[in-house]
Structure 1
Amino acid sequence: MSDHAMMSTDERLAYMAEHILRNFATRGEDEAIEATAEHIGLYWDPSMKARATAMADEPGVPLSEAARAVFRRLGEEQPLT
C-alpha cells in the first residue's frame, strides 16, 4: 500500500493544497495563495472546504505557512455551504 493511501483526511487535504500551491508558485507567493484559495473555493466539496478552514489554526496540523494562509483566506472569503 502506498504512503498516499495511508494518509489521514487532514494529511490528504494538506497534500492537495500544497500541490495546488506548487502549481501556482511561478506567480509569486501572494498570488499563489490567492489562486489556490480561489481554486479550492471553486472545486473542493463543501465538507473539504469546511475541514480545511478549521485546520488553518489548529496546532500540529502538517501545513506550510502558505497553505495555512490559503485555508485562512478560504474561511474569510468563501461561504462554506
Structure 2
Amino acid sequence: MIHNANQIATYFAAYPHDEAVAGVADHLKHFWEPRMLAQIKAHVAAGGEGLHDLVRPAVERLS
C-alpha cells in the first residue's frame, strides 16, 4: 500500500504541487478499492510513516 501510493506520488512529483496533490487524490479515488482507501487513510491518521510528501495531503482531500 505504501509502496503503491509512493509510486503514484513519484509520477506526479514533476507537476506543480497543487496539481500533483490533486492528481494523486484523483488516482486514489478512481482506482483504489474502498478497503485500500480505508487502509491508506488509517495509515495517514496514524502518522503516515514512509509516505511520499504528496500522499498525505492527497489522502486528506479524500476524507
**Larger relative contact order (Cα-Cα within 8 Å, sequence gap ≥ 6):** 2
Indicate the RMSD between aligned Cα atoms, in angstroms: 1.6
C-alpha separation in 1, matches of 2:25 and 2:42: 14
**Runs of 4+ more than 3 Å apart:** none
TM-score, length-normalised on structure 1? 0.66
Partner of 2:14: 26
SS in 1 for 2:54: helix
Q: Structure 1 unaligned runs (5+)?
A: 1-12, 76-81
Contact 1:33/1:69 (CA < 8 Å) preserved in 2? Answer: yes
Greater Rg by CA = 1
| d(CA) in 2 for partners of 1:18, 1:67 | 7
Give the whole-Å Cα distance in 1 for the aligned partners of 2:58 and 2:35: 16
The offset of 1:50, in angstroms, is 0.9
Runs of 5+ unmatched residues, structure 2: none
- Of 46, 55, 58, the residue aligned with 2:46 is 58
Q: Percent identity?
A: 30
Residue 40, structure 1, aligned to residue 50, structure 2: no
1:7-44 Cα offsets, whole Å, 9 max, x none, are xxxxxx11111111111122222211111110110010
